[in-house]
Structure 1
Amino acid sequence: MVLPSLRQLAIFRTLMETQSVTETANRHNITQPAVSKMLAQLEEHFGLQLFHRSRGRLHPGPDADRLYVETQRLLTQLDAFNDSVTAMRSARQGRLSIAAIPTLAATALALTVARFLETRPNVRVDLLAMNSDTVVEQVLKHQVELGFVHQSVSEPSLNAQIVGHSEIVCVTRRDHRLAALEVVTPKDLRRERQVFLDAQAPPSHFVREAFQQFGIAPEIIIETNMSHAAKVIAQFGGGVALIDPWVTALEDGGDLATVAFRPRVPLRISCLSSIYRPRSRLADHFIADLKSSIATLEVTNAFIGSGDISQ
């Protein structure tokens, strides 16, 4: 069965609402004979007499009334569909799924999600925190659209884009002797109780190598896979933490001091997406907003930067 065109149904709806061939023709920018022809085609198509004429005017019959209800429902749904497509094109509607290492999920990404949704009430975001390997796995399996990690990823099925960077810093209480230094080295940390990221964390490897360069064995009292946990331990005097600066970037510092650590241990923020799943407009807009958030923060935080480290 050949279905009537959407244009025919739209003209029929207008005819029902105006009950005037002249007004319908004007609204659709066509001639009156074209409206009459369309009506005849529609009646022939459905095998129904939709209108009858009386004193030069069209009057809808019972079948026309019933057809109008269904036509109105269909065209309203079509309008909603078009609105949804327009919203998706402008990244104002849809769902975005993100996986990230905990430090980034709780700071840069949480901040960006909040700002992102301020102007997008019809968008839903899933933000999941997990370790680096699981983030990569989730993107590869298309369980999430975007993944954010610190490590470099050589997986050929993934696109990796550097959206920002930071560096390992020394975090301690403001009343600690190290807080007065401009730079902290492994030598300065001798005989200090140290809080390290666990050995499985990629940045931790480089920190340990830095100690080896100085011929110093770190005095690790606590290992954790959460920079936030290390920060809290340092805050309450449990030790000196060598961590990602993002955990203090959104705070005023309070009784904590953040000091540069040398040799420098760079941390690149890699945005991962699958080469087999083209990024949505929503994802592209989110990445742009994330870069903007990082660029704003780098103005007041010397340990955070936009783009790659070499830039």
Structure 2
Amino acid sequence: MRLRHIEIFHAIYTTGSITNAAKILHVSQPSVSKVLSHAEMQLGFDLFERVKGRLTPTDEAEMLFDEVDKIYQQMRSIKNTAENIKKSEYGQINIAGSPALGFDVIPSAIAKYHHKHHQVNFNVQTVHNDAVMQTLLEHKCDLAILFAPNVMPGVTSIELAQSELVIVYPKVSFPDCPKELTLNQLKEFEYIDIGDSGPLADLLWTRMMKDNISLEALIKVQTYFIAARLVAQGVGICVVDRFTAEGNLSDNTAIASFNPPLTFPVKALYLENKSLSKVSQEFLSYLTTEFSDDSK
């Protein structure tokens, strides 16, 4: 039996007539009769006895119905799942992002999306910038969110926001809490070095070379938020992205932009040969809105 045969047989069996079956299937009565005849011809036996205008299931139909009903229920489940996918109410979103974005922006976007789409699953990985790109290329995520990514063939990028490198400093070092500082003003303070932190480290290094200034560091770390927490302990100053700085601000620390500012883009990336699912596309709009709100 074909799927259309199963659908027609099930409708007639459960409603008791071709007329009712046609109504619930939203098709014509002749169409139902034609499909039923074709099903019986292929099976080699009648499914219904036609007595005084009424259809009564044959013994063969009774034996067949339980199996047909199982398939029919599976068909309904497939249809419902397809409808949920269409309405963005079902699916999975796999994201990889920089830890800095895990303090506020990504969790906030996920929370707002989840409130409206409870059945969409999330898998979120927070890894360093270079590892984020590798995760995408290895198909371990659908969507990568990272800072100033390099242009790569086969990867589509969408700019979500502009951010900046900032200085996190103890308030005792600058009691007037300036909103802007220069590299020259940082020379006398102990510097916490982030080490090899990808494109943002390159951005800072370029400015140092331009200004002919170097910052000597006795402490080196691999993670931005650890540097910010060390500043809170009164160890020195550090240069991190604004997301990390604001996510780890304490009562005794403050944030200053560079003068002139050191800005960089935040981008969403996905593979060109693996199109984003409907739910991922919709979540991307939430993420864009969240970055827009965060920058205000």
- Whether these two folds match at TM > 0.5 is yes
User: In the alignment, which of 183, 187, 190 is matched to residue 186 of structure 1?
Assistant: 183
Q: Is the 8 A contact 2:48 2:58 kept in 1?
A: yes
Determine the C-alpha separation between the residues in 2 that align with 1:282 and 1:30: 33
Q: CA deviation at 1:293?
A: 0.4
Determine the C-alpha separation between the residues in 2 that align with 1:212 and 1:27: 75
Please, which moves more after superposition, 202-211 or 172-181?
172-181
Q: CA deviation at 1:32?
A: 5.0
Instruction: State the partner residue of 2:2.
Output: 4
Structure 1 segment 24-173 matched on structure 2, within 5 A: 24-28=21-25, 32=29, 35-54=32-51, 56-173=53-170
Cα gap change, 1:288 to 1:37, in 2 (>3 Å): closer
Instruction: State the partner residue of 1:222.
Output: 219
Report the identity percentage: 20
User: In the alignment, which of 179, 202, 216 is matched to residue 199 of structure 2?
Assistant: 202
Please, which moves more after superposition, 24-33 or 9-18?
24-33
Determine the C-alpha separation between the residues in 2 that align with 1:207 and 1:182: 18
Q: CA deviation at 1:229?
A: 0.9
Q: Is the 8 A contact 1:172 1:179 kept in 2?
A: no
What is the identity, as a one-letter code, of the residue corresponding to 2:148?
Answer: Q
Unaligned runs of 5+ in 2: none
- The two structures, once aligned, show a CA RMSD in angstroms of 2.5
Q: Is the 8 A contact 1:196 1:204 kept in 2?
A: no
Determine the C-alpha separation between the residues in 1 that align with 2:28 and 2:282: 45
Structure 1 segment 223-302 matched on structure 2, within 5 A: 223-249=220-246, 254-299=251-296
Count, aligned residues: 296
Q: Is the 8 A contact 1:25 1:35 kept in 2?
A: yes
Please, which moves more after superposition, 254-263 or 288-297?
254-263
Q: CA deviation at 1:5?
A: 4.6
What SS is found at the alignment partner of 1:128? strand
Q: CA deviation at 1:55?
A: 5.5
What is the identity, as a one-letter code, of the residue corresponding to 1:281?
Answer: K
Deviations 1:43-96 (A, max 9, x none): 222123322345653222332223222232222222222222233233322122
Q: CA deviation at 1:246?
A: 0.4
Determine the C-alpha separation between the residues in 2 that align with 1:133 and 1:71: 53
Q: Is the 8 A contact 1:179 1:259 kept in 2?
A: no
Give TM-score scaled by structure 1 length.
Answer: 0.84
Determine the C-alpha separation between the residues in 2 that align with 1:190 and 1:34: 85
Give TM-score scaled by structure 2 length.
Answer: 0.88
Cα gap change, 1:270 to 1:38, in 2 (>3 Å): closer
Q: CA deviation at 1:244?
A: 0.8
What SS is found at the alignment partner of 1:296? helix
What SS is found at the alignment partner of 2:214? coil
Q: CA deviation at 1:291?
A: 0.8
Cα gap change, 1:157 to 1:182, in 2 (>3 Å): same
Determine the C-alpha separation between the residues in 2 that align with 1:98 and 1:50: 52
Determine the C-alpha separation between the residues in 1 that align with 2:74 and 2:213: 70
Determine the C-alpha separation between the residues in 1 that align with 2:141 and 2:171: 40
Deviations 1:235-271 (A, max 9, x none): 1212112111102445775443212122321121122
Determine the C-alpha separation between the residues in 2 that align with 1:249 and 1:202: 20
Please, which moves more after superposition, 70-79 or 161-170?
70-79
What is the identity, as a one-letter code, of the residue corresponding to 2:2?
Answer: P
Q: CA deviation at 1:109?
A: 2.1
Determine the C-alpha separation between the residues in 1 that align with 2:11 and 2:157: 52
Q: CA deviation at 1:118?
A: 2.1
Please, which moves more after superposition, 51-60 or 202-211?
51-60
Determine the C-alpha separation between the residues in 1 that align with 2:248 and 2:183: 26
What is the identity, as a one-letter code, of the residue corresponding to 2:230?
Answer: I
